[in-house]
């Protein structure tokens, strides 16, 4: 135990804890840093644009802290500060999108054991969905390319008119489409954005230590439940639903 946080994995001897009084019917996953390691393709696409104009480029570890709030925000953060006007961000974002479209599944891979976790959840009657700040077209292409057509009940990326996480609208859309109440769902993600999104949507949240940001950020954001490895999600699911 870390204060009132409940951490699953090796350091806790594989213990699981009961975290809510409602049967969970739906697990909503963040995409980047949770289901897939996409940092190489994201970084390569952004660096291709930066190199084109002679701007400073970044290593992959730095990109782990630039992503998380959508690709427009990624471009804004990566540009030299003096160039971060709305007009420039749109211009360079269009070029980033072209570069990312060329390579969005070149190096992107699912995290080890994620596919088995998804299979287990589905076999136990749990619905699964994806909620990402990445543009919807990229999200659907990446998920279907890596996981197949039928692995998720719903896939939602950034759409026009819908604010990015941590605003709760994307979660509300998923809940409404699938006919699930907030207390029947769990959000799983690797960053403070996901923790805040869960709070804003009144969902339970499981933080993923294996992602881009790590345990410290999740704890500082107030994540009560932290999974060290993907398999811990199944243990948490079992305890939540008293299987």
| Catalytic residue IDs | 30
> How crowded is residue 80: how many other Cβ atoms within 10 Å of its Cβ?
11
Backbone angles phi, psi at 209, to 5 degrees: -70, -25
Distance between alpha carbon 90 and the CA centroid of its chain, in Å? 24
SS3 38: coil
Residue reference for tokens 């009144």: 202
* Tokens describing residue 192: 């403070």
- Per the CB < 8 A criterion, the answer to whether 14 and 229 are in contact is no
Q: Is the peptide bond before 166 cis (omega within 30 degrees of 0)?
A: yes
* Tokens describing residue 230: 């993907």
């Amino acid at each position: 135990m870390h204060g009132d946080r409940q951490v699953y994995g090796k350091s806790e001897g594989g213990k699981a804890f009961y975290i809510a009084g409602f049967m969970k019917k739906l697990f909503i996953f963040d995409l980047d840093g949770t289901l897939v390691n996409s940092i190489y393709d994201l970084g390569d696409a952004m660096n291709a644009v930066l190199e084109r104009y002679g701007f400073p480029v970044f290593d992959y570890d730095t990109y782990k802290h630039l992503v998380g709030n959508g690709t427009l925000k990624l471009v804004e953060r990566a540009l030299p500060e003096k160039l971060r006007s709305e007009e420039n961000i749109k211009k360079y974002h269009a070029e980033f999108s072209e570069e990312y479209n060329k390579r969005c599944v070149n190096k992107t891979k699912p995290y080890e054991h994620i596919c088995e976790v998804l299979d287990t959840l589905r076999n136990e009657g749990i619905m699964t969905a994806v909620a990402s700040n990445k543009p919807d077209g990229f999200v659907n292409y990446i998920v279907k390319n890596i996981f197949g057509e039928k692995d998720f009940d719903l896939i939602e990326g950034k759409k026009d008119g819908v604010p990015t996480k941590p605003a709760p609208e994307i979660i509300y859309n998923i809940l409404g489409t699938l006919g699930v109440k907030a207390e029947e769902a769990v959000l799983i993600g690797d960053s403070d954005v996901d923790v805040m999104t869960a709070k804003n949507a009144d969902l339970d949240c499981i933080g993923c230590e294996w992602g881009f940001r790590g345990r410290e950020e999740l704890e500082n954001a107030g994540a009560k439940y932290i999974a060290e490895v993907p398999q811990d999600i199944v243990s948490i699911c079992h305890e939540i639903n008293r299987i």
